[in-house]
Structure 1
Amino acid sequence: MALTYRWSATPPAGPAAPPDPRVLAQQAIAQMRLHAVSIGIVPEPRVGRVGVIGMPTWMWVQNPGPSTLGPITRTASAGGFSVTATAKADRVVWQMGDGATVTCHGAGTPYADSFGRQSSPDCGHIYARRGTFTVRATSYWNVAWSGMGLTGTIPLNFTRTTNITMGEAQVLTQ
């Protein structure tokens, strides 16, 4: 049996390096399709709808689900390795457009006409002046991941905006 030697400018391929677990965590997060909450608010952000200053404004997450508030878990794999990530919104911070900020934990309570003039039990605000205000709802997420003997957290946030109008109620007497 004859032996043949060959010279190569590149070394032979060895075992592949394991994937970066943080990259797999990001891939798991991408599968979650997380996004900003849909804003529920009274007064409604529609033309012709005007809230009254001094009256309660209610805010809530409309149609909450795994991709808007969590929890949601996904796993990403490559080369025989896996990383699992679980995401959950910690809070929704509402910038009310008048300088006030309201932090709410959970989805809030949707307003119903039967509540009348009551304040929201978990997520509300009262405007003191009239005008049109840009309301920003930012959901803050914590994503915990683990795999390949490592763990970590990744903070995320998503923002949605809407505009509401507040006016004054005037009473005329004769």
Structure 2
Amino acid sequence: MAGAMVALATIVPAAAEDDYGRATGTAKHNDNATGTIGAQVKVRYSGSTHSGHGSGALTSADSNWTPPGCWYAPTYTSAEFRKVRQSIYFAVVHDPDGDDFRGEISDENQKYAKDEYHDGDKGRYWAAVQNPDAPYEEQWACDKPPFWVPQGKKPPVKEAVSPEILAGLAYQQIQVPGTRVSLAPAKASKVNLPTWVWLDKGRFKPVSVTASLSVPGFSISATTTATPSGLTIEAGTDDADLLPSSGTCPANSDGSIGREYTAGSADETPPCGVTYLRSSGDGTFDLRATATWKISWKGSDGTGGDLPDGQYGRNQAVKVREVQAVNR
């Protein structure tokens, strides 16, 4: 029914809908962005995210978890849905390529006119919504045509929009600061001597984004919070020893990671660092620092829980010299 979809886009430009009147969604990745999920309904995002140099979106540490690909939301009143169906019908009638499905649309409209529409009833037609950032097959897993849900009743589908679904969408909107770490020695590391690695306190703080959806008679929200929990170091070469040996440096109670090198610490072992065992020659090694963020959420209905950890990291070039020197 591709012809109906194209024609409908011309007649009803306020909504992006497929052949069944389902609403498609979009999302902007910035503060206070709005994701359109239907002609009358929007998911709104608010919160404090980072947009400075080097910031970026989190990647789930669990490869089996992804944000929701689709869901059902209360999209139309009975009058609005009637107009949508009529628009589809008239689009098909005037579509020169609509012969194959004109009868089908007509039959569907007759069914809605006879059995549904619920004129004067309190409630909404719920329609499928696609997450444009999800894999295609996940976007279209919600294939049920619009259905009526009386006000105050629970939708009869497990993918009905909920605080947990909104929490996953908010997760997708979180932007965290970059992970350019401080190093000592600062200009060039030395072979067989530890390089101190740290992130200053105050730079890595919890970041929260709230996703909310509200229409008359229906309002829910969820706040998803990312809290820094550690930093994983990769030396950029196999000829190196990590400190600690796992390469993972936990966050301190003040939010810092590792410990800043100070004069007189040359004989100490850094709580977070790397010891290079060979020179980088005329080039450099790509040290990668990846921050891990614990993710939790809380819904407007009192529900809540944890989502998979998020990760975000960057490379930075490190020159290593074959010089026996001591940091003092």
Question: Could you tell me the TM-score, scaled by structure 2's length?
Answer: 0.42
Structure 1 range deviating more: 98-107 or 111-120? 111-120
User: Residue type of the partner of 1:92?
Assistant: L
Q: Is the 8 A contact 1:56 1:118 kept in 2?
A: no
Alignment of 1:87 with 2:241, yes or no, is: no
From the two aligned structures, give the one with the greater helix fraction.
2
* CA–CA distance in structure 1, aligned partners of residues 261 and 192 of structure 2: 17
The CA distance in 1 between the partners of 2:169 and 2:324, in whole Å, is 56
Instruction: Give runs of aligned pairs for residues 8-87 of structure 1, distance below 5 A.
Output: 9=109, 10=112, 11-12=116-117, 14-15=123-124, 19-29=161-171, 32-44=174-186, 49-62=187-200, 64-65=202-203, 69-79=204-214, 80-87=219-226
One-letter amino acid of the structure 2 residue matched with residue 75 of structure 1: T
Identity of aligned residues (%): 25
Q: Which one is further off, 136-145 or 13-22?
A: 13-22
Distance 1:53 1:22, change over 3 A: same
> Which range is displaced more, 107-116 or 137-146?
107-116
Describe the superposition over 1:48-101 as per-residue Cα deviations: whole angstroms up to 9, x where unpaired.
x33221212011124643xxx332334322121111222112221000112255
- For structure 2, which runs of at least 5 residues remain unmatched after alignment? 1-85, 87-108, 127-159, 252-256
Equivalent residue number for residue 316 of structure 2: 162
Q: 1:39 to 1:52 in 2, by over 3 A?
A: same
State the SS of the aligned residue for 2:258. coil
1:134 aligns with 2:286: yes
State the structure with bigger RCO (CA 8 A, min sep 6), 1 or 2: 1
**Structure 1: where are the runs of 5+ without partners?**
1-7
- Cα deviation per residue 1:122-161 (whole Å; 9 max; x = unaligned)? 2122111111211000112221113243534132110111
Partner of 1:123: 272
Select the structure that is richer in strand.
1
CA contact (8 A) 2:190 2:324 kept: no
> Would you say how many aligned residue pairs link Structure 1 and Structure 2?
156
- Residue matched to 2:249: 104
